[in-house]
Structure 1
Amino acid sequence: MSFEQAQHEVQQLGKKPGNDVLLKLYALYKQGTAGDVQGDRPGGFDFVGAAKYDAWKALQGMPVEQAQQEYVALVETLKARN
């Protein structure tokens, strides 16, 4: 499965993954498309934005290709569970 196909497949999942898996998908997607985290960490009451930033920041230094491969592998695992 390609990275682009995995992006489509994740939208077709029967069951919505838990928040921890959604954050991992988000972080791998961002690392796989934009590289290392950019900008400032959201503050105040933007808890969702801060969690997304932190998840992406945790992958800093991971090569784009590796992030894309891990994203595809995670989507395949999720598909197998549905």
Structure 2
Amino acid sequence: MGLEEDFTKAAEDVKNLKETPADGDLLELYALYKQATVGDVNTTRPGLLDFKGKAKWDAWNHKKGTDSEKAKQDYVNKAQELIEKVGLN
């Protein structure tokens, strides 16, 4: 399989993990997915009271400058790490 197929499969697989990953792992997956599919963050940072939105925005912004191919490969690697750790349903 090519990287695009691996990325698509990994995105589906993480929806079927036996356990919900830790918040840090979820933020990492979110940031890598957004960087791979959208590119650099293209929205303003959420407001003061939107803690979840700010955390997601900050995680994505931390990936700024990472090219799409690297973000996809990092996403696949992170998904595989989580699958090995907790398994799939």
The two structures share one fold, judged by TM-score above 0.5: yes
Tell me by how many angstroms 1:44 deviates: 2.2
Q: How many pairs are equivalent?
A: 82
Q: Which amino acid aligns with 2:55?
A: A
Residue 25 (1) aligns with residue 29 (2)? yes
Question: Identity of counterpart residues, as a percentage?
Answer: 44
| TM-score w.r.t. length of structure 1 | 0.97
When the two chains are superposed, the root-mean-square deviation of aligned CA atoms in Å is: 0.9
Q: Which runs of 5+ in 2 are unaligned?
A: none
Aligned equivalent of 2:12, options 8, 12, 26: 8
Runs of 4+ in 1 over 2 A off after TM superposition: none
Q: Which residue of 2 aligns with 1:67?
A: 71
| TM-score w.r.t. length of structure 2 | 0.89
Aligned equivalent of 1:38, options 17, 35, 42: 42
Q: Deviations over 1:6-64 (max 9, x none)?
A: 01000010011000100000000000000000110001210000000000000000000
